[in-house]
Amino acid sequence: MHAVTFLTIGQAPRPDLSQAIEAYLPATACVRHAGVLDGLTRPEVEARFGAPRGRATLLSRLADGGSVTLDAEAVGAGLQTRVDQVEDEGADVVVLLCTGEFSGLRTRRARLVEPDALVTGYVATVLRGSQVGIVVPLPEQVTEAREKWRAIIPAPAFATASPYADDYLALSAAARTHLEAGASALMLDCMGFGSRHRKALRADGVTVPVLTPAAVVGAALGPMLN
């Protein structure tokens, strides 16, 4: 039996992020959830993890359903603390529920699954030579995203839309921008994007492949545990 902990940069649990991955896990897997911001109020989150202007940012959600913009460096430090804790609690596999880059993040014995590496590697391999349109949640994340996706050839284009918006208007607009520029595939680069976003784009007439991180992570992780 594998003890799998899903670790969000926000507050746990986040079944909206993990369900697509859990579908690939064996029935015997023991699933737990943890979050970097667990137990904190919004003012405490903003004081400890708020994103100063000009710093790399991440977007997540609190237990009350509200979204929150976070300082990526502070989140990275908080992630390492939580990884150490869930290992102490018996996790065999730690799955990050974020596509951000966290250099130097480590485990002592557990397998660490980092969506950032899986997703970029998948796109570079499977969509090699294709024009990919990438959607990130926030405009201020585009600069970091260009660096993250620098190995993709031809260079991808970027647009923004929040996965936590009340409707899909911004996402549809981002997709249309990419398609009009010649994109032959879309990558929704945030764990907050899931099957409902893909379905919304399909309903809006988008026919090119639409990739979401959880689907890629689940397909890669499942065979290792079954």
Are 110 and 161 within one domain?
no
Q: Cis peptide leading into 139, omega within 30 of 0? A: no
Q: Are 46 and 66 members of one domain?
A: yes
Residue 32 in this model has a pLDDT that exceeds 80: yes
pLDDT of 226 over the 90 cut: no
Q: Predicted confidence band at 126 (pLDDT cuts at 50, 70, 90)?
A: very high
Residue 51 confidence class, pLDDT cut points 50, 70, 90 = confident
CA 164 to chain centre: 13
| Statement to judge: residues 108 and 23 lie in one domain | yes
Binning pLDDT at 50, 70 and 90, where does residue 56 land? confident
pLDDT range class, residue 225, cuts 50, 70, 90? confident
Domain residue limits at 178? 118-212
- Degrees to nearest 5, angle at CA 211 with 30 and 144: 95
Domains contained in the chain, number: 2
pTM: 0.92
Q: For position 56, which CATH number holds?
A: 3.40.50
- Please tell me whether residues 54 and 125 are part of one structural domain: no
* CA separation, residue 161 to residues 10, 96, 115, 123, 189 (Å): 19, 21, 19, 20, 10
- Taking only Cα atoms into account, the Rg of the chain, rounded to an integer number of angstroms, comes to 17
Asked if 191 and 220 sit in the same domain, the reply is no
pLDDT in the model for residue 1 = 75
- Element at 72 (helix H, strand E): helix 72-88
CB 191 within 8 A of CB 115: yes
CA–CA gap between residue 135 and residue 144 (Å, rounded): 13
Regarding whether 122 and 89 lie in a shared domain, the answer is: no
Specify whether 64 is located in the same domain as 84. Answer: yes
Going by the DSSP 8-state scheme, the letter that residue 6 receives in this structure is E
Does 14 share its domain with 74? yes
Asked whether the beta carbons of 208 and 130 are under 8 A apart, the reply is no
Residue 88: name the closest of 108, 111, 113 by CA. 108
Are both 19 and 110 inside the same structural domain?
yes
* Helices and strands, number each (H, E), in the chain: 8, 10
The model's pLDDT over 163-181, given as tens digits with 9 standing for 90+, comes to: 999 999 999 999 999 999 9
Q: Read off the CATH number of the domain in which 152 is found.
A: 3.40.50.2300
Q: What percent of the chain has pLDDT over 90?
A: 92
CB contact at 8 A, 44 and 120: no
Answer whether 17's CB lies under 8 Å from 97's CB. Answer: yes
